[in-house]
Chain A
Amino acid sequence: MSELIRNVLEHSLSPHGAIVSAQYYKKSNTIRIGIADTGIGIWKSINQSYAPKNDLEAIQLALTPGITGTTRREGGTEQNAGAGLFFIKSIASVNSDFFVIYSGKAMYKLLKRKSKKIALHADPFEDRHSKKNDLPGWEGTVVGIDLSLDKTQEFSLLLRLLNETLRKAIKERKKARYKKPQFI
């Protein structure tokens, strides 16, 4: 919750802050959280350091660990690692909970895991998901997450998976940047 709200304050540049709502549902033992802002949206935020072609690609980048609109530098800035949204999506992913993010004309929704095997992916498009890139525009960002308290996985498992996925993502980006001399 704290990470989500900080995201709004730091990246949305919203003149009106954000609307945050949370409710506990006793029957399902679930906390459902929604945050909506009317800021610059994910595309503009990410576009400060990357060049996403559209809102959906911007969402994909925003959910990728280590990617932040504030810098292209690996490891982020002193205040921002680009891991906040990835952590939040990962909590939902590990627990097979609902997670959705909507910005501009795009929406990404994490779908429940089908397999019992728990795995996190740096690329959100490798998770079971649905996506759209032609929705009515929302000039800002909306995030929704459900947290089922009954089936919360061991936090240590989540931390281990987060660590492995982050390290792998950084390694792969490093590899992609690695240049070889051009012999002609």
Chain B
Amino acid sequence: MIHIKLSKLVGLFAENKDIAADIRLNKLIPALEKKESIILDFEKIEGATQSFIHALISDLMRKYGNEVLDKIQFKSCNDTVKGIIAIVVDYMQERD
């Protein structure tokens, strides 16, 4: 299992899509390829944009299917971040 503390990488407001893509490509995909599960830790993060969350997880859902959500846990999200993650997860499943 890998545990990624996002605030160390993105600061308190998660909005940089380039960092999100970097995390996806260099941490999340390699972990999933090794069948590892993932904790995305949003502790201290006050807000996130839809673009950031989209860049972080949408391609994983496309590549590995919706089952990838069984491998990913979102930790310490405030209500705003939970809402944004829910939007992205919902529209990515709706498109199928």
Contacts and interface: CB of A to CB of B under 8 A. Distances in A.
Interface of A: 2-3, 6, 66, 74-76, 78-81, 83-84, 87, 155-156, 159-160, 162-163, 166-167, 170-171, 174
Contacts of A76: 54, 58
Q: Is the interface of B mostly helix, strand, loop or mixed?
A: helix
Interface of B: 13, 15, 17, 21, 24, 49-51, 54-55, 58-59, 62, 79-80, 83-84, 86-88, 90-92, 94-95
A134 to B, nearest CB: 33
B51 to A, nearest CB: 6
16 contacts: A2-B49, A3-B49, A75-B62, A75-B91, A78-B21, A78-B58, A78-B62, A79-B54, A80-B54, A81-B51, A87-B50, A163-B90, A166-B90, A167-B90, A167-B94, A171-B94
Contact of B95 (A75, A84, A162): A75
Contacts of B15: 2-3
Nearest to B87: A163
A152 B91 CA distance: 25
Contacts of A83: 50-51, 54, 91
A29 to B, nearest CB: 20
